[in-house]
Amino acid sequence: MTSNKTEKPWGGRFTAPTNEFVEQFTQSVSYDQRLAHYDIMGSIAHVRMLAKVGVITKKEGTQITAGLKKIALDIKAGQFQWQTALEDVHMNIETALVQGIGDVGKKLHTGRSRNDQVATDIRLYLRDEIDQITQQINSVLKALLSLATDHADTIMPGFTHLQSAQPVTFGHHLLAWAEMLLRDRSRLQDCRKRFNLLPLGSAALAGTSYPIDRAMVAEALGFDGVTQNSLDSVSDRDFAIEFAAAASLIMMHLSRFSEELVIWMSQASGFIDLGDAWCTGSSIMPQKKNPDIPELVRGKTGRVYGDLMALLTLMKAQPLAYNRDNQEDKESLFDAIDTVKMCLIAYAGLIPTITVKKEVMYKAAAAGYATATDLADYLVVKGLPFRDAHEVVGKTVQYAIQKKKDLPSLTLAELQQFSHVIKEDVFAVLELEGSVSARNHVGGTAPKRVRAAIKRLGKQIK
Ligand code: ARG
């Protein structure tokens, strides 16, 4: 990127050249050049509209459009000279246009301002990014469903307070993550729908006196309509904040997911292993294989929360309409987008490498008296009030702990010490398989329900 003393498109009322530090301090082209494609798209739609309503001639419209297309190709080929002195992506492109096609290029900026231009560019850009992130969420969902299919019957301890609570199926646990990601996906769609309106035509803040056709531009750019207040349109960054909030929730979910993978891969738990290609080692301890991918995802969550905070704080107390503060929206927004995308790629790749140590999971589920609630429910069916049943089972568990036995290994005689209503059929409910299969309702952990949920979720992923 070069920084030569370029004449500014806004230089008319200035008598001194811009201070060099000020050029560096005010520039955004080093990062907003990623909007170039959308900037050109917006400009082409704008210029076609200007030609259609007669503000410029058809010929001028065609010349400008051709010039812009040429610039798009140069940028794509890496042959475009970005100049810091030209501040941002908008003025770089506009200046190159005038250099390329001559004075007619100066007509492009008729009836618009960089304020409505940048508001349009970010919306176009974010829309595409949301579509990509949606596809990435779908990839993670597919990986989850495939693993859940393999483990619809696999029994593991379910936890509350990280204490063994009740047996669940691993497939059911995986689908809990799928539900979170589905909500994340719908939050993105909701945000997209709300901001998919064209701000262009608002000009600097008050609108424009040219007979513009905003609906035509909106349609050309795939917007659902136009924004309704020019002051709001050039200053609104709600959509970036909404996106960052949705991105934060995605990261929050991925960090919970990460935490569980880290725990499960630890020697203390030993429930799963992750593929060698998706782990890294230690430079000093030769035996180590570390879950760095989930740890980094957990760590990167903080960045995205930071981006959300930065955007919220950026907008706080800004008076109407556009203020230069708004230029600071981009790096936070871009960082949130880049981070979420990387983490989703990581998860789509990582999940298929998960190997499940079924026996370890099963043993852990059996060891934690996880069917105690089933025994209590059994006593209730036999006529005991639930509170009494709770008491009986508490005593039974205490006895089993003393005897160093799990519940299904107690004899009938041992069990009957605590209640005479206990009969031979009790063993069906004390077994882990019986416990999970009994939870056979919508939302329950029964293998049958897991399979039904996989089917339902599969239909929601295209
Ligand atoms: N680079 C600016 C931004 O990102 C574009 C708008 C500049 N408008 C202005 N009045 N200086 O917000």
Indicate which CATH number applies to the domain containing 368. Answer: 1.10.40.30
Handedness of CA 130, 128, 94, 86 (dihedral sign): positive
Mark whether 262 and 375 lie in a shared domain. no
Mark whether 175 and 283 lie in a shared domain. yes
* Ligand 1 mean position, distance from CA 191 (Å): 24
Q: pTM of the entire structure? A: 0.95
Of 326, 358, 390, the domain-final residue: 358
Report the nearest atom of ligand 1 relative to the CA of 118: 5
Active site residue 390: no
> Cβ distance 461 to 142 under 8 Å?
yes
Mark whether 56 and 28 lie in a shared domain. yes
Q: Are strands 272-273 and 163-169 parallel, antiparallel or unpaired?
A: unpaired
The two structure tokens encoding residue 257: 């997911």
Q: How many domains does the chain have?
A: 3
* Ligand 1 mean position, distance from CA 4 (Å): 20
pLDDT in tens, the chain (462 residues): 655 556 888 988 999 999 999 999 999 999 999 999 999 999 999 999 999 999 999 999 999 999 999 999 999 999 999 999 999 999 999 999 999 999 999 999 999 999 999 999 999 999 999 999 999 999 999 999 999 999 999 999 999 999 999 999 999 999 999 999 999 999 999 999 999 999 999 999 999 999 999 999 999 999 999 999 999 999 999 999 999 999 999 999 999 999 999 999 999 999 999 999 999 988 888 888 999 999 999 999 999 999 999 999 999 999 999 999 999 999 999 999 999 999 999 999 999 999 999 999 999 998 889 899 999 999 999 999 999 999 999 999 999 999 999 899 999 999 999 999 999 999 999 999 999 999 999 999 999 999 999 999 999 997
Indicate which CATH number applies to the domain containing 184. Answer: 1.20.200.10
Distance, CA of 72 to CA of 36 (rounded, Å): 8
Residues in the ligand 1 pocket, defined by CB under 6 Å: 28, 32, 88, 114-115, 118, 322, 324, 326-327
* Ligand 1 mean position, distance from CA 176 (Å): 43
Catalytic residue among 161, 283, 420, 441: 161
Distance, CA of 453 to CA of 442 (rounded, Å): 9
Per-residue pLDDT at 245: 98
Active site residue 282: yes
Distance, CA of 87 to CA of 294 (rounded, Å): 39
Residue 284 inside a domain? The answer is yes
Q: What are phi and psi of 355, to 5 degrees?
A: -110, 140
Mark whether 102 and 119 lie in a shared domain. no
* Ligand 1 mean position, distance from CA 56 (Å): 25
Nearest residue CA, atom 4 of ligand 1? 327
> Cβ distance 367 to 164 under 8 Å?
yes
Mark whether 411 and 333 lie in a shared domain. no
Residue 221 inside a domain? The answer is no
Mark whether 346 and 407 lie in a shared domain. no
Per-residue pLDDT at 394: 96
Per-residue pLDDT at 222: 98
> Cβ distance 200 to 42 under 8 Å?
yes
Indicate which CATH number applies to the domain containing 105. Answer: 1.10.275.10
Report the nearest atom of ligand 1 relative to the CA of 114: 6
Report the nearest atom of ligand 1 relative to the CA of 322: 10
Mark whether 353 and 380 lie in a shared domain. no
* Ligand 1 mean position, distance from CA 324 (Å): 6
Give me the amino acid identity at 391: E
Task: Give me the residues paired with residue 198 across strands.
Answer: 226
Of 80, 110, 140, the domain-final residue: 110
Mark whether 119 and 96 lie in a shared domain. no
Residue 457 inside a domain? The answer is no
Query: What's the Rg (C-alpha) of the chain?
Result: 31
Nearest residue CA, atom 2 of ligand 1? 327
Catalytic residue among 30, 186, 266, 282: 282
Mark whether 200 and 305 lie in a shared domain. yes
Nearest residue CA, atom 5 of ligand 1? 114
Mark whether 284 and 155 lie in a shared domain. yes
Residues 6+ apart with CB under 8 A from 319: none
Mark whether 321 and 206 lie in a shared domain. yes
Q: What are phi and psi of 39, to 5 degrees?
A: -65, -45
Of 358, 388, 421, the domain-final residue: 358
Residue with tokens 């949606």: 134
Q: What are phi and psi of 179, to 5 degrees?
A: -60, -40
* Ligand 1 mean position, distance from CA 77 (Å): 26
Residues 6+ apart with CB under 8 A from 81: 1, 2, 96
Nearest residue CA, atom 12 of ligand 1? 327
Residue 174 inside a domain? The answer is yes
Q: What are phi and psi of 140, to 5 degrees?
A: -65, -40
Mark whether 63 and 193 lie in a shared domain. no
Per-residue pLDDT at 1: 61
Its domain, for residue 385, covers 363-444
Nearest residue CA, atom 10 of ligand 1? 115
Residue 1 inside a domain? The answer is no
Burial of 381 (0-12, 13-18, 19+ CB in 10 A): exposed
Per-residue pLDDT at 6: 64
Mutate to test the pocket of ligand 1, among 94, 118, 320 (most ligand atoms within 8 A of CB): 118
Distance, CA of 60 to CA of 47 (rounded, Å): 9
Residue 15 inside a domain? The answer is yes
Residue 69 inside a domain? The answer is yes
Report the nearest atom of ligand 1 relative to the CA of 330: 4
Residue 220 inside a domain? The answer is no
